[in-house]
Each structure stands twice: as C-alpha cells, then as structure tokens.
Chain A
Amino acid sequence: MLAAFKEAKDTLKGKKKKPSKLIKPEEPIRAEVKVETAKVSKLKPSKEKQAPFELATEKKVFSNPLEQKKTAKHKAAMMINEQNFSSFIGIVKGVNFNDPEQWRNASYHTKQYYQGYVQSSIQVAYEKGQVIKLNSGWKPLIILPHSHELWLDADDKQLRAFAGVEVSSVPVSDGKVMTLSKVNPKEEGFSTELDKFQEMNAFVWKLACWTSKGRYPAVLNISDPIYLKQWPNFTRLVITPHAMRIAALLVVGPRSMLDIIKVLKVKPQYVFIFVSAAYAIGILGQSKRQADQIITAEVPAIKSVQKKSLFSRILNKLRG
C-alpha cells in the first residue's frame, strides 16, 4: 500500500520514469469495455482525450451567505428505524397492519388533511408563477415556486401534530376552509427569517409521512404496479424504515405495493408510508399501461451470499 503511494508520488514528481509495477507496458491504460452489452447506460467510454479537465475548474459562485443561512433547508436527513417509527411518525387507530385483510383499508384521502391543501396550493403557485400564502387558520405558509422553497413559522413538532388532524370544516373566510393570497416578498417580513425556509420536496415529503402514518393514498390501488421515476434525494428527507430498499427495488421496474411487501419481507406500513411520500412529491405513479401489469419487473439479480453478507456488514457499520 505505502509502496504504491510512494511510487505514484515519485512518478508524478518525475523522479521515476519507469511505469508502475501495477501497469504492464503492453496493456492499454484504459480498460476495454464491452459497450454493446451495457444495460444500465448509453454511455460509451471515451476513446478520444477530452479537453484537459482543469479547464472547467472555474467557479460560478464564490459564496452565497444568504443561502447558507437557510439551515433547515440544508439539514441532514433523519433516519427512522423500526423501533422509533411509531413514536416519530404516529399511529393510525382502526387499522391492524398485522392482518393482510385490512391492508386494503389502510388508505387515506390527502384532501381531508393539511397535506392536500398544501399540495394544491403548490400547484397553483407553480401554474401562476406567483409567490402565494396559504391561510389555513393555523400558521401561514408561504410558497416560493421560483426557488422551490416554502416558509413556515412552525417547528417540526407543531407540523407533525397539525398534519395528523383531519381538516375542520369550519370555514376560515367566505365559506372556504383554507384560502390563498398573493404575496409580495419585498413587503412581507418573512424573508429575513432565513432559518424558516424549507426545501419544497423535503417539506412535502415529511408532511406526507406525518399524514400517512403508515397508510397509502386512496387514489392508488394496492394491487396495481407503481413505478418510481427517480431516487428521492434521501440526504435531505426523513428516511423511514426500508425506504432505500424500496426505492432501489422500484427504480428497476413497476411493482405493486403487495408485491413489494412480499419481495422485501417488510411490514406494509413501511411500504405505504414510502409510497405516500414519494407520490406526494411527484416521483411515484401508478402504471396505467396494461403491459406494466402483465410484465412485472424481474427481481434484480441477487448477488452471491458472500457479497450479500458483505453489503449487510457495510450497512451495519454505516448505521452504527
């Protein structure tokens, strides 16, 4: 190890002209790649040298002090394990997740909760390209579509409590439960309280988790395949139990919620809560094509037992 280091260093300093023992002179430096067999990528290894890489080192922005003060927005992920799931997420009364017969009833209507109003408001803000305020009779929520941010004067504990309550039918004004109003950011005082800004998807994701509490959105069918458009940005999200495994399985191809439960051998509420959160931020959908229902994606090739065990040990180490 150390010898390899020294050799490489010496070579780079020009002390040693001979090639490293690790490189046989007759061998090409670049590994040959069978591009035609590539399944995961259309990328081909470069045959021609590109422009020296140092040319692209110019920085666009040297500092962004305002952005860096948005601490909530750049906060690291929170990992929830099976032990603290109920205490952090909450419990749904009336559903016994141990009884498969009851799984079909473990759904909820987002429109009956704050989550539904927030999602509708976000949609309006994007369609109009306008900063808007959601007046809910609780804390005002300001939606900033241009920067994909939200501003809310409430902590997570308060949000979690409000998320789980079905929205009262008592109108706020003009017979409406919640109202929207245009906002001029220059006139409102919120923009100086930078720690209250949150990234849009991170906010909606956790709101969906606290509304779902282990249920799935009623608009989805538990038996029909669902697909994941992309990996969620897990480092900035609440990571519920087995969420990364579920994501890894779903990016391979469509699969029903029932199938995910069976293949990964996980409790249904962990699948349902992931589906709720991913659906809320728009990266998960239900397959409409008949072909997706007939052809369910194959289970990814499971590595050798030895590799599987190694990956498990790495995971255990990383999770402390």
Chain B
Amino acid sequence: MSQYKIIFTGPVGAGKTTAIGSLSDVPLMKTDEAASDMTKERKAETTVAMDYGIMNINEGEKIHLYGTPGQERFDFMWDILTVGGIGLVLLLDNSRADPFKDLQFFLKSFAGFIQETGVAIGVTQMDVSTRPTIDDYHRQLKELDMSIPVFSVDAREKKDVSILVQALMFSLDPGIDEE
C-alpha cells in the first residue's frame, strides 16, 4: 500500500498542530516540549520534532499528516519530513510582527518541495489582527510571480482546514473530478 503525506508548516503558534488535529482520524501524535526561549511568550509548549496525524481515505489507505516544528533551529526536520510529500500547507499567523517575513522565509525554505509539488497558504488569527489582508498577501506573492491559494483560516475549524487542503489538491490538478 502506497504511503502519501501532506506537510503542514509555518512559524510557532500558527496553528499547525491544531490544523492537523482538525483533519486527523486518530489522536494526534505530538512531540511537544516546554518552550524555553522567546517561544514561551506565545505558548507554553511547542512542537520540537513533528506532529503526526492520519486521514483514512479508503480501505486501509492513509494520508499521513505531518507538522513541522515552527522554530528554525529544528529545520533539519523539515527536509526529512517533506520526502515523499504530495503538497505543502503553509500556515501563517497574522498577529505576528511581520507575517510577510514569515511568508518569504517559509516559501524560500521549502522552494524545492513547492516546485515539485504545490502549496496552499492559510492565514490564521485574522480575527485578532485584520491586517495585512488576504489581498496584501496576494500582492506580496505577485512580486514573487506566484499565484497560489491564500485563505483566512481558523485552524480549529475542520471546514476551513479542509477547504485549504482541497484547494491544494485542485492547484495540483484542476482536472480532478469533484462529484
């Protein structure tokens, strides 16, 4: 049976663990540790290796959902996790000091993987910080010559995360049959 995976990445506190939990059919496997640096200002615990969930799509067929650690010092995990991935979900926290810097950083870090597969971006915390707007993100992406899905997302809402992953699938192949 083939093994497929979707990778969730983004900065600390963007909602990667929550998003995977929204889609996973099994309890999430986490590698959380108490935050020891500036991360602790945002959350008590943070992912240090990876998060892991499973989406059962058919009899015995699974999609593995991997969440990367948000902190750059754990970036050695990023390349390991993307091997064999079918696409990338990038979650950005709109309440952070410079979400565009985050955007560029992660797109650059995963450029090779994105080139081979695809990416969809979910912007979280838009009810906390309304700016930048989704249009602002598109303007940034236009400068990078990228036309990719960028949606407002509440990582706790399964529907939001589901629509984001659906858009990723369609951007990989618009010819997929819907119904």
Contacts and interface: CB of A to CB of B under 8 A. Distances in A.
Interface residues of B, number: 95
Contacts of B126: 74
B91 interface: no
A33 B112 contact: yes
Contacts of B45: none
A245 interface: yes
B31 A9 contact: yes
Contact of B157 (A76, A242, A244): A76
Contacts of A314: 55, 57, 63, 165, 169
Contacts of A33: 111-112, 115
Interface string A48-80: 001011111111111110011010011011010
Given A44-B111, A314-B57, A315-B176, A57 B52 contact: no
Given A68-B127, A74-B126, A231 B162 contact: no
A82 interface: yes
Contacts of B174: 245-246, 248-249, 252, 264, 300
A30 B130 CA distance: 35
B49 to A, nearest CB: 4
Interface string B62-82: 010000001111111101101
Nearest to A32: B112
Looking at chain A, what size class is its interface with the partner chain?
35 or more
B112 A45 contact: yes
A236 interface: yes
A73 B29 CA distance: 33
A53 to B, nearest CB: 4
Interface in A267-320: 299-300, 302-303, 307-308, 310-319
Given A82-B179, A235-B151, A312-B176, A52 B73 contact: yes
B95 A264 contact: no
A216 to B, nearest CB: 20
Contacts of A223: none
Contact of B80 (A20, A57, A302): A20
A31 B113 contact: yes
Given A58-B97, A317-B57, A241 B178 contact: yes
Contacts of B151: 231, 233-236
Given A5-B52, A57-B13, A231-B147, A38 B111 contact: yes
A29 B77 CA distance: 9
Contacts of B63: 314, 317
Interface in B2-22: 2, 4, 11-13
A22 B11 contact: no
Nearest to B159: A76
B134 interface: yes
B163 interface: yes
Nearest to A64: B128
Contacts of A235: 122, 151-153, 159-160, 163-164
Interface in A1-51: 1, 5, 8-9, 12-13, 20, 22-23, 29-33, 35, 37-46, 50
Contact of B48 (A9, A246, A308): A9
Contacts of A123: none
Contacts of B52: 1, 5
A20 B39 CA distance: 25
8 contacts: A1-B52, A53-B71, A57-B41, A60-B129, A64-B130, A82-B179, A230-B135, A247-B170
Given A9-B49, A61-B129, 10 more contacts: A44-B108, A54-B72, A57-B42, A63-B128, A231-B150, A235-B151, A242-B178, A264-B175, A299-B175, A317-B56
